[in-house]
Amino acid sequence: MRLILHVDMNAFFASVEQRCNPALRGKPIAVVGSAKRTVVTTASYEARKFGVKTGMNRFEAARACPSLIFVIGNNRKYIDASVRILEVLKTFSPMVEAYSIDEAFIDITGCLSPFGSAEGLARAVKERIREEVGLTCSIGIAPNKLLAKLASDMQKPDGLVIIDEAGIPRLLEDLPVNELWGIGPRLTEHLGRMGVRTCGQLGRFPAGILRERFGIIGERLRLMGQGIYSSEVVPIGQEEEAKSVGHSTTLPADISEKAIIKKYILKLSEMVGARAREHGLKGSKVCLTVRYPDFYTFSRQKTLASHTNDTRAIYAAALYILEAMRLRTAVRLLGVSLSGIAKGVGQLALFEEDRRREKLLEAMDAVNRSFGDYTVTWGTLMDEGAGGGDDTGVISPAWRPVGVKRVNVK
Amino acid sequence: MAESIKEDIKVIAVFDKGVKPVKFRWRGRLFAITEVTHTWSSREGSSSILHFSVTDGASLFELVYNQASMRWSIEASE
C-alpha cells in the first residue's frame, strides 16, 4: 500500500509576514498586492475569525474586520520560504511534488523505518519546518493524494490527520462531495441536482449515468466517491513539459486608450518571450485575454506561420488580435500567452535582418540575466503607463520551484 | 506601514555558517540588532541577494547584502 503525505502551509503568506514582524503576531492581518485595486491574497487565522477571506477587496476586508492590518506582500519572501520547505521535504523522500507555492505531496512509502511510523515521520517534518523556516503546517497522510489532501484540510492550523485504509468508507459515507479536492461549486450543484450530495452516494452512483453526464471524468468521479485515486506523486523536475507560457496583469485602473493597452501588451509579450527563450521553448499560437470591469473575460487566439519566441512576433500577433476586437468598454485585465509549445524547433533565420533580430534578443537576454530583469528593455516601456518592471505580480497557482513554471515575481 | 529606503549602510556582521548582522550604522545612529526575525534570498540578474528582517527592539528594518558587490543596504523600516 502506498502512503502519501500532503503538507499544507497554514495561511502561508500571512504567516511569513507575522514571522518577519513580531508586532504582527497574534493580530488579524491581510496580505495584499501593491497595486491600488488589489485583493486579499491571504488572511491570518486571526483575521479569518472575523470572516476575512482571500479575494475580498480592501473595503470588504476592512468592513469585516475593522482592526485588520494590511500588509503589502513580498513574493520573493514566499518563494524563498517555499523553496526552503521543499528542500526540507526532500530530505524525507526523493518523491516530493510541489503542488503549489504552499502545498506539496510526498510519497513516503518505504521511508518510515527511521521514524517508526507515519505519525513519527509527520511530526519530524513539522518540527524541521518549524525549526528551519519558522512556520507551521497541516499534514494529512493517506493511501493516495486525494485522501491525503482531504486529511490535511481536516485539522487547521498545525494539524496532523492520518486516514487509514480501513476507515475510508466510514469517513466518506456522509462527507459532502464538495469537500473532495477537484469538486468545485458548479460540479457540486450539478451532482446535487442528480441527488448526489455525499461521497457515499457518489461512490454508489451508476457509472454509466455519470459517464453520460460528465464524459470521461464520470468514472473518475465515482472512484473519487469511493476514495480511489490513481494520480501519483510527480517529483520536482519530472513534471510534464509546459503546454503554454503566459502572463496576465490587472491594470491599475480600467483603461480604454488603445495606446496604453498596447504598451501593456508589449510588456506582457516581452515577459512571455523572455521566459520562453530562457527555457529554449517556442510556440505556434498566441492568445490574448481581455477582462472587462464587470469581470466578463474572453480570449482570442492567432496561429502563427512558424514557431517563435521573438517578443516582436508575439506582440504583433497579440496586436492583430486586439485590432480585430471591438472592445465594448474599458479593460480591467490583459493576458498574453504562447501555446503550441515545442522545444528546439523553428527555422534558421534566412535573412540578415532576421539574424540581427535574433542576436539583439540574445544580447538583451544576456544583459538581463547578468544585471536583472528590465535592465535593457523596449523603449516604449520606459515611458509612463505600462509600469516598467516594478509592479508586484501575483504568484500563479501553476508556480513551480524549477523550470519554465518558476516565474520570478517581485 | 513599511517605509521604502534603499540606502547603502555600514554593518557589523558575523560570517560563520551563514551571515548574521549584529549592528548597523544608519543616518549617524548605531543600531544594535536584538533579533533577526526572518531571512530570505533572491537574485538580481546573476547577483545573489540576502535579505534580513531585523529589529533593534523598537523598530523593524530590512537589511540587504549583495553577495556579488559585497555591499549592505537598508531597504525599509517601520
Each residue of A35-56: pLDDT tens digit? 777 789 999 999 999 999 998 9
Q: What pLDDT digit, counting tens, does each position of A353-409 carry? A: 888 888 999 999 999 888 888 888 888 887 655 554 445 566 666 667 767 666 666
Pair (A8, A135) in one structural domain: yes
Distance (Å, whole) CA B31 – CA A89: 37
Q: With an 8 Å Cβ cutoff, are B2 and A20 in contact?
A: no
Pair (A4, A137) in one structural domain: yes
Last residue of a domain, one of A163, A186, A210: A163
Distance (Å, whole) CA B19 – CA B52: 9
Distance (Å, whole) CA A68 – CA A29: 5
**When comparing pLDDT for A240 and A211, which is higher?**
A211
Contacts B2 to A, Cβ<8 Å: 72
Q: Is the residue at A398 inside a domain? A: no
> Closest to A81 (Cβ–Cβ): which among B37, B40, B43?
B40
C-alpha cell of A155?
Answer: 485539522
CB pairs under 8 A, 24+ apart, for A195-202? Answer: A198/A172, A198/A173, A198/A174, A199/A172, A199/A173, A199/A175, A199/A224, A199/A225, A199/A226, A199/A227, A200/A169, A200/A172, A200/A173, A200/A174, A200/A175, A200/A225, A201/A177, A201/A225, A202/A177
C-alpha cell of B30?
Answer: 548605531
Pair (A155, A175) in one structural domain: no
Give the up-direction half-sphere exposure of residue A344: CA atoms within 13 A in the CB hemisphere. 1
Pair (A369, A347) in one structural domain: yes
B55 near A CB under 8 A: yes
Q: What pLDDT digit, counting tens, does each position of A259-272 carry? A: 999 999 999 999 99
Note down the domain range covering A103.
1-163
- Phi first, then psi, for residue A377 (nearest 5°) are -145, -175
At A390 the pLDDT is 46
At A1 the pLDDT is 85
User: Residue B2 carries which DSSP code?
Assistant: P
Distance (Å, whole) CA A293 – CA A250: 10
Q: What is the CATH number of the domain that holds A4?
A: 3.30.70.270
Q: Is the residue at A408 inside a domain? A: no
Secondary structure of residue A203 in the 3-state scheme:
helix
Pair (A366, A287) in one structural domain: yes
Distance (Å, whole) CA A351 – CA A349: 6
At A123 the pLDDT is 97
Mean pLDDT for chain A overall: 90
Q: What is the CATH number of the domain that holds A213?
A: 1.10.150.20
Give the position of cell 523596449: A378
Q: With an 8 Å Cβ cutoff, are B38 and A23 in contact?
A: no
Pair (A86, A175) in one structural domain: no
* Number of domains present in the structure of chain A: 3
> Closest to A20 (Cβ–Cβ): which among B38, B41, B43?
B38
At A19 the pLDDT is 94
Q: With an 8 Å Cβ cutoff, are B53 and A21 in contact?
A: yes
Comparing A2-16, A377-391, B22-36, B62-76, which segment has the lowest mean pLDDT?
A377-391
* Number of domains present in the structure of chain B: 1
| Nearest C-alpha neighbor of A218 from the set A208, A232, A227 | A208
At A352 the pLDDT is 85
Q: With an 8 Å Cβ cutoff, are A77 and B35 in contact?
A: no
For residue A142, what are the contacts with CB-CB under 8 A and spacing of at least 6?
A3, A4, A6, A148, A150, A151, A162, A163
Pair (A216, A273) in one structural domain: no
At A384 the pLDDT is 57
User: In the annotation, is A103 catalytic?
Assistant: yes
| Nearest C-alpha neighbor of A254 from the set A293, A306, A288 | A293
Q: Is the residue at A187 inside a domain? A: yes
Q: How many CB pairs under 8 A join A and B?
A: 43
How far is A336 from chain B, CA to nearest CA, in Å?
Answer: 24
Q: Is the residue at A263 inside a domain? A: yes
Contacts B47 to A, Cβ<8 Å: 372
Pair (A219, A141) in one structural domain: no
C-alpha cell of A243?
Answer: 503546454
Active-site residue among A17, A97, A103, A270? Answer: A103
CB atoms within 10 A of CB A24: 19
At A380 the pLDDT is 81
B4 near A CB under 8 A: no
Last residue of a domain, one of A163, A180, A197: A163
Q: Is the residue at A396 inside a domain? A: no
At A288 the pLDDT is 96
> Closest to A372 (Cβ–Cβ): which among B38, B44, B55?
B44
- Phi first, then psi, for residue A95 (nearest 5°) are -95, 80
- For chain A, the residues whose C-beta falls within 8 A of a C-beta of chain B are 16, 19-23, 72, 76-77, 79-81, 134, 368-373, 375, 408
Q: What is the CATH number of the domain that holds A303?
A: 3.30.1490.100
Last residue of a domain, one of A163, A186, A214: A163
Which helix (H) or strand (E) segment holds residue B23: the answer is: strand B19-26
Q: With an 8 Å Cβ cutoff, are B40 and A134 in contact?
A: no
Could you tell me the pLDDT band of residue A316, with boundaries at 50, 70 and 90?
A: very high
Asked if A200 contacts A172 with a C-beta cutoff of 8 angstroms, the reply is: yes
Q: Is the residue at A399 inside a domain? A: no
Pair (A153, A189) in one structural domain: no
Note down the domain range covering B40.
3-77
B41 near A CB under 8 A: yes
Give the up-direction half-sphere exposure of residue A71: CA atoms within 13 A in the CB hemisphere. 25
Q: Is the residue at A393 inside a domain? A: no
C-alpha cell of A129?
Answer: 519546518
Give the position of cell 465515482: A222
Pair (A258, A135) in one structural domain: no
Distance (Å, whole) CA A14 – CA A402: 24
> Closest to A369 (Cβ–Cβ): which among B37, B46, B60?
B46
Comparing A166-180, A205-219, A373-387, which segment has the lowest mean pLDDT?
A373-387
Pair (A94, A107) in one structural domain: yes
Give the position of cell 480501513: A166
Pair (A128, A197) in one structural domain: no
